Structure 1
Amino acid sequence: MALNFHHLHIFHTVAVYGSFSAAAQSLSMTQPAVTMQVQALEEYFGVKLFHRTTKRVELSDAGKALLPYARQAVALMKETEQAMAGYTEMLKGKLQLGASLTIGEYILPRLLGPFAREYPDIMISLKVFNTAQIVEEIVNHQLTFGLVEAPVEHPEIHSDVVLSDELLLIIPPDHPLRDVEEPTFEQLIDHPFVLREQGSGTRQVMEQEMRAGGHDPQQLKIVMELGSTGAVKSAVEAGLGLSVLSRSAVRNESVLGTIVTKRIRGLNFMRDFHAVYLKSTLLPLAAVTFMTFLKKHDLDQWL
């Protein structure tokens, strides 16, 4: 047997999960197949790489010595795919991704057209959830790749910044604050707010920035929480309250004059959009190609 990346990747995944069954689920393989590949690697080196117990597997001394090299091999393979994705012509396959609501409803539709023109043989399948649901789907192996609106802190999740965005205060066109160039936080707490639900990336970024600026978001008079950006916009247009949403999400309404956008004095609601996936997963080439597409283009021309 010749040593190859496939064996190192399987070994690395078992080491990360501490379980043959969990590694098999992550790799979309059967448990016996994973066990066989690890045994083949052990036979190649002539040493045991794991100590097997009834509850979990633990690295042997030889396995601990091999792990850093396996980790480097996985990282190098990811870098190699990203480097070559931009040169791949006639790439075929299926791009299956999840996106949080603002990205899925207002950002991606403007980007998928240019991507499809550059890679016409990639079929795109998109599932739209909020950020918390995307992370849950990835951790439970229901989804391999997602784009979310807020930083993700999870021990199994890797995150790459791929886009930037700005949140703005939005108000009805006849609101008393229309003539205030940059309302203060203190001016806002006297007015009702209609916000996205807890767990949404938009809500997380808004509250984090307010706290960083020395303000308590609980002081806001929240009269309604809604599960979609479209519903929030409709509520603001109807005069039910103020809100904070992505600039991209309210571009059309701002041009039409049905919503007025403003910045809040002293607060900067800039945020990054992140590509998220399991640390133990090698992404399909279609997903790597899409991330490379997002990073190498000036996306403002479409947004």
Structure 2
Amino acid sequence: MRPSLRQIEIFLAVAETGSFSAAAVRLGMAQPGVSQAIRDLETLLTLRLFDRTTRRVLLTEAGAAFRADALESLAALDRAVAGARDRAALRHGSLRLAAPPFLAATVLPRILAAFGAAHPGIALRLTDGTTGRILDMVRGGQADLGLGTFPPGETEVSRRTVLRDEMLAVAAADTTLPDRPRWADLADHPIIALSPSSALRLPAELGFDAAGLTLRPAFEVEQIATALALAAAGLGIAVLPGYVRAGLTPGVIARPLGAPVIHRELALIHAAGRSLGAPAQAFADHLTQSLRRLAPVS
């Protein structure tokens, strides 16, 4: 059985004042309560901690050694409490984020910079990778948060939607497109699509299917940046999510696709069954607000 924190505090007060009555005054206790607490502590430790005289209470050799160890333990506890409060107040801590390459290169640097400026004590780490790698890192505890478009039914992760935007038709500026083209309007254009391994391929397939068309890409690529570059070169129309507006270059147009409107969700995930630390929770809120300035959740 361990001594209670209150017993340790009473012991230290007696050791410092050299008096049961003075310790009682300091602690706001009755003197008999202090005496009983010391007797209980000595019984628990099977040690005599104080020699009592008519004028003074003196530490025994064992009591002096116990006092030194108790002071060290309380100092460690104080440091632990201070550290926990610092983490709760975002003065210290860390955040590990995994995200797709395009978001990591375009949107996230500014968002991370703003968060870091507001919380300079938080160490930030960003890893870019595929959807599969992001999922593995979050499940395995190598990332606190993962950002991306994830297939439904993924296990071992909890998710929250941080952005729900429309699919876009992205093309060179001299391409003739209505302000809000229908999917059927793309029928006579070469299409630049992400590969079937991408979670962003499905919304494109759904749009063409709803228009009674079959998606037959002229180009299939792995990276959004590659699709944008091909579209900018006039090689076709890229079908991409709305957040690519953050990385558009001069000479490129982006039109929201309608008839039908196909939405795509950007989600933030963390390991299921694990509570988010204060830095991760604060960043999740910051990220959600920042991304929704690009497009509101509808």
Q: Could you say which TM-score interval applies, normalised by the shorter chain?
A: 0.5 to 0.7
C-alpha change, 1:215 and 1:94, in structure 2 (3 Å) is farther
Counterpart Cα distance in 1 of 2:294 and 2:116 = 16
Which residue of the partner structure matches residue 101 of structure 2?
101
Give, in angstroms, the shift of residue 244 of structure 1.
1.7
Counterpart Cα distance in 2 of 1:91 and 1:244 = 42
Q: Which sections of structure 2, spanning at least 5 residues, go unmatched?
A: 3-84
Give, in angstroms, the shift of residue 106 of structure 1.
2.4
Counterpart Cα distance in 2 of 1:171 and 1:192 = 10
Which residue of the partner structure matches residue 167 of structure 1?
167
Give, in angstroms, the shift of residue 297 of structure 1.
6.0
Give, in angstroms, the shift of residue 115 of structure 1.
1.1
Give, in angstroms, the shift of residue 243 of structure 1.
0.8
C-alpha change, 1:251 and 1:156, in structure 2 (3 Å) is closer
Tell me the secondary structure at the aligned position of residue 199 of structure 1. coil
User: 1:118-129 maps to which residues of 2 (within 5 A)?
Assistant: 118-129=118-129
Pairing partner for 1:238 from 202, 226, 233 = 233
Q: Deviations over 1:115-147 (max 9, x none)?
A: 112211112111112323312333344434211
Tell me the secondary structure at the aligned position of residue 222 of structure 1. coil
User: 1:21-170 maps to which residues of 2 (within 5 A)?
Assistant: 88-150=88-150, 152-170=152-170
CA RMSD, 1 decimal: 3.2
Counterpart Cα distance in 1 of 2:190 and 2:262 = 20
User: 1:202-241 maps to which residues of 2 (within 5 A)?
Assistant: 202-211=200-209, 213=210, 215=212, 219-241=214-236
Give, in angstroms, the shift of residue 214 of structure 1.
5.6
AA partner of residue 231 (structure 2): V
Pairing partner for 1:186 from 165, 184, 187 = 184
Q: Which structure ranks higher in relative contact order (CA pairs < 8 Å, sequence separation ≥ 6)?
A: 1
Q: Is the 8 A contact 1:193 1:224 kept in 2?
A: yes
C-alpha change, 1:100 and 1:125, in structure 2 (3 Å) is same
AA partner of residue 257 (structure 2): I
Q: Which sections of structure 1, spanning at least 5 residues, go unmatched?
A: 3-84
Q: Is the 8 A contact 2:107 2:246 kept in 1?
A: no
Pairing partner for 1:290 from 270, 283, 286 = 283
| Corresponding residue pairs, total | 213
Which residue of the partner structure matches residue 199 of structure 1?
197
- Report % sequence identity: 22
Pairing partner for 1:274 from 261, 267, 270 = 267
Counterpart Cα distance in 2 of 1:298 and 1:183 = 25
Tell me the secondary structure at the aligned position of residue 143 of structure 2. coil
Q: Is the 8 A contact 1:189 1:221 kept in 2?
A: no
Q: Deviations over 1:9-36 (max 9, x none)?
A: xxxxxxxxxxxxxxxxxxxxxxxxxxxx
* TM-score (norm. length: structure 2): 0.61
Tell me the secondary structure at the aligned position of residue 194 of structure 1. strand
C-alpha change, 1:250 and 1:182, in structure 2 (3 Å) is same
AA partner of residue 269 (structure 1): I
Tell me the secondary structure at the aligned position of residue 163 of structure 2. strand
Moved more, 291-300 or 194-203: 291-300
Larger Rg: 2
Counterpart Cα distance in 1 of 2:102 and 2:139 = 21
C-alpha change, 1:93 and 1:169, in structure 2 (3 Å) is same
Q: Deviations over 1:77-130 (max 9, x none)?
A: xxxxxxxx9x95343122111012343232212311221122111121111123
Give, in angstroms, the shift of residue 252 of structure 1.
5.5
Give, in angstroms, the shift of residue 229 of structure 1.
1.5
